Structure 1
């Protein structure tokens, strides 16, 4: 079962982080949590919640007197979709190009490189290779 993850704007990511942290939440709880970190107006936050609901990224429980909101996608699903989108936009879909750039610019520490090497060794993509 693969569902296409909708694009989420930078502002919408803020809302999603609040919902992934704890849900379901009322609009007031989302507003309160967001306003601890930003100077956004309640109307702006409600608009973002509405957009996420329309995109079917956030669900709404209407069974109670006060509606509650909850994520329909896991944080991992959204991060994976965003990573693929980034690699396609910036590197023409070539993950190798991105990794080479990070490694050549010393953006990765020796520990990062060891961890990456370990991950690559555990997950061979070559056909016929079994480890």
Structure 2
């Protein structure tokens, strides 16, 4: 399923807290993005059509819940980025960031720990 960057803002709101009403989604998203209420509601409707979210009527109000798992979304998006930019290879991605952005000491330590853990698994 292709969730656009704009639509992902709605999904993020629902992954943070669910269920949410349309008004609650609007408030959450508008705290982060300067979008009109109509824009947010259009995105909600697009996600409903894609079956990325579901609407439930509770106490006379529509509440929305995500149908896409956050961890699966992150995995798919991460793999897509890796495939598009680095031919599916992780090492060039890490090298790119290491060469183009100064890594903080804690980031270097975390990478070293991860590599050590991966070595131990072999």
TM-score for the superposition, normalised by structure 1? 0.79
Residue number in structure 2 paired with 1:71: 66
| Equivalences, count | 122
More helix by share: 2
Give how far 1:104 is off: 2.6
- Taking the TM superposition and a 5 Å limit, the aligned residue runs for 1:35-50 are 35-50=30-45
Q: Which runs of no fewer than 5 residues in structure 1 stay unpaired?
A: 1-5
- Partners in 1 of 2:23 and 2:109 — Cα distance? 45
- Change in CA separation of 1:106 and 1:40 when aligned onto 2, cut-off 3 Å: closer
Residue number in structure 2 paired with 1:20: 15
RMSD: 2.1
Residue number in structure 1 paired with 2:103: 108
TM-score for the superposition, normalised by structure 2? 0.84
- 2:82 is aligned with 1:87: yes
- Partners in 1 of 2:95 and 2:47 — Cα distance? 35
